[in-house]
Amino acid sequence: MVRALARAGKGSRMDEVWDPAADAAGWVEEAEAEIQAATDPAALAAVRTRWLGRRGRLTEALRGLGELAPAARRERGQVLNRVREAVEQALAAREAALEATARAAAYARERLDMTLPGIRPAVGQLHPLTRLRRELEDLFTRLGFSVALGPEVESEWYNFEALNMPANHPARDMQDSFFVDVPGFLLRTHTSPVQIRAMHARGGALPVKVIAPGHVYRRDDDATHSPMFTQLEGLMVDRGISLADLKGVLLTLVRALFGPGTAIRLRPSYFPFTEPSVEVDISCTVCGGSGCATCKHSGWLEILGAGMVHPLVLANGGYDPDSVSGFAFGLGLERVLLLRYGFDDLRPFYQNDLRFLQQFARGSEGQA
Ligand code: PHE
């Protein structure tokens, strides 16, 4: 059959050998075999060229029609057109099939398993000290205090003299200091200088009601003392402030920190800038007051220092000690963390070991 068409070249007498139906079927069969054998787009394109290209078999055959007598030309033309349609259909179908196979393979290759657990991004969190500081700022602002800040490089006057600790006064030995190259300045040893700064900032107005959180520095370094640590100062000055007001605020403070059942005890003590001065104890956070190893069987744990603002300090702040009075307290935040979490070593809080710090993820303070 193929031979029959092959003979249909230039100048041959097609009419004699042309069996349209048989030859057409043969061509279609042959083309389809080639088409099925093509397993990729390039091979398929080659088949298309071989049959339908400018020099393709069908193209040549169609071109040869012009040499035929009109009747034969019409008959053969119709057959060749049917062949071309069949070949084109077969090519298109194969093309679609190859494409579908390729797509299926790509899907399998690029498969994305949406059920795999995701990679949890490392979300940072605030340091437990920062969180404690903010917690206390929240508490005291609710009580009507505002937050006052002072410099960490402080003058000796604010840090000592104004607080009733004149030069060479033995009380200065209570706070081993870091001095800086500028004469008359040091790294502040406590947040109490902010008492004076806050009174100055109020310019004699009443009340003065501030807390002053921040870093302080002392030449101290052991398991429970760091050369840099964090204090929170409290100061309230107004007409008629008494020790009872101090006790009320402190009770609110320790109950917020250690739970509503916490009791406090004020013990007489000494600070140059308060008179009278007290050491404040809380009922033991471990045994609740019945006595245990943590509280050395006393039932009490020391938590902070406080007192009524010394008249000299009030005067240095620009207030008349005869008409106003005030209380002040100073709380060490590291100490609060140790008591809350039951640690006896504060150094890990400064060592940036995430395995340690991550234990204090948000929400864990309620379990303390
Ligand atoms: N400034 C004192 C200290 O650092 C603490 C304190 C503050 C005591 C306010 C009494 C009143 O030791």
Could you tell me which residues are beta bridge partners of residue 300? 283
Q: Whose CA is closest to atom 4 on ligand 1? A: 190
Give domain status of residue 119, yes or no.
no
Q: What pLDDT, on a 0 to 100 scale, did the predictor assign at position 330?
A: 98
In a domain, 206, yes or no: yes
149 and 296 housed in the same domain: yes
Q: Do 152 and 44 have their domain in common?
A: no
Single residue among 73, 108, 143 that ends a domain in this structure: 108
For a ligand 1 pocket test, name from 174, 177, 215, 271 the mutation site with the most ligand atoms within 8 angstroms of its C-beta: 271
CA of 293 to the centre of ligand 1 (A): 27
Lowest mean pLDDT among 86-90, 172-176, 353-357, 361-365: 361-365
Of the chain, the percentage scoring pLDDT greater than 90 comes to 71
Q: For the segment 26-59, what is each residue's pLDDT rounded down to a tens digit?
A: 889 999 999 999 999 999 999 999 999 999 999 9
Flag whether 275 is marked binding: yes
Is the pLDDT score of 365 beyond 50? no
Least confident interval from 161-175, 224-238, 340-354: 161-175
Please, are residues 222 and 319 in contact by the beta-carbon 8 Å criterion?
A: no
Q: What percent of the chain has pLDDT over 70?
A: 92
Cα 277 to ligand 1 centre (Å) = 9
Rounded to the nearest integer, the mean pLDDT of the chain is: 90
pLDDT in tens, 293-336: 989 999 999 999 999 999 999 999 999 999 999 999 999 999 99
Q: With 60 as the cut, is the pLDDT of residue 161 above it?
A: yes
Q: How far is the CA of 202 from the centre of ligand 1 (A)?
A: 21
CA-based nearest residue to 327, from 352, 353, 305: 305
Contact in structure between 279 and 246 (CB atoms under 8 Å): no
Q: How far is the CA of 312 from the centre of ligand 1 (A)?
A: 16
pLDDT, tens digit, 9 for 90 and up, residues 97-153: 999 999 999 999 998 888 988 888 888 889 999 999 999 999 999 999 999 999 999
Domain match, 253 and 290 both: yes
pTM of the model: 0.69
C-beta separation of 329 from 250 below 8 A: yes
**Nearest ligand 1 atom to alpha carbon 304:** 5
Q: What is the pLDDT of residues 55-83, one digit of tens each?
A: 999 999 888 888 888 888 888 888 889 99
Within a domain: residue 367? no
- What are the start-end ranges of the H helices in the chain? 2-6, 14-17, 20-37, 41-52, 57-64, 70-109, 128-142, 156-159, 193-202, 243-258, 311-316, 333-341, 354-357
Q: Which atom of ligand 1 is nearest to the CA of 191?
A: 1
pLDDT of 248 over the 80 cut: yes
**Whether residues 64 and 136 fall in one domain:** no
Per-residue pLDDT, 118: 86
Provide the terminal-to-terminal Cα distance of the chain, rounded to the nearest Å. 96
- Measured from the Cβ of residue 47, the count of other Cβ atoms closer than 10 Å reads 23
Q: Which of 308, 261, 307 has its CA nearest to residue 282?
A: 261
Task: Report the pLDDT averaged over residues 272-294.
Answer: 95
pLDDT of residue 26: 87
- Would you say residue 359 has pLDDT above 90? no
Q: What range defines the domain where residue 318 resides?
A: 128-360
Q: Which of 77, 108, 139 is the last residue of a domain?
A: 108
With bands split at pLDDT 50, 70 and 90, how would you rate the model's confidence at 367? very low
What's the gap in Å between 305 CA and the centre of ligand 1?
A: 5
Residue 63 in any domain: the answer is yes
Closest atom of ligand 1 to 305 CA is 8
pLDDT the model gives residue 18: 58
- 156 with 68, same domain? no
Over residues 267-279, mean pLDDT? 97
- Residue-level pLDDT at 292: 94
- With vertex at residue 300, the alpha carbon angle to CA 139 and CA 212, rounded to the nearest 5 degrees, is 30
Mutation probe of ligand 1 site: the residue of 237, 273, 309, 336 with most atoms within 8 A of C-beta: 273
Ligand 1 pocket mutation, candidates 175, 190, 280, criterion most atoms within 8 A of CB: 190
172 shares its domain with 203: yes
The set of protein residues with a Cβ atom below 6 angstroms from ligand 1 is: 190, 192, 233, 271, 274, 305-307, 328-330
What is the rounded average pLDDT of the residues 7-25?
56
Total domains present in the chain: 2
Distance CA(317)–CA(196), nearest Å, equals 5
Provide the token pair at 292. 């245990």
Residue 232: CATH number of its domain? 3.30.930.10
Do 237 and 288 fall within a single domain?
yes
With respect to residue 123, please indicate whether it lies within any of the assigned structural domains: no
User: Residue 359 carries which DSSP code?
Assistant: G
pLDDT at 362: 64
Output the pLDDT for position 14.
47
Within 8 A by CB and 6+ apart from 107, the residues are none
| Dist. CA 122 → ligand 1 center (Å) | 39
Nearest to 207 by CA among 319, 313, 315: 319
pLDDT of 363 reads: 52
Nearest-CA residue for ligand 1 atom 2 is 330
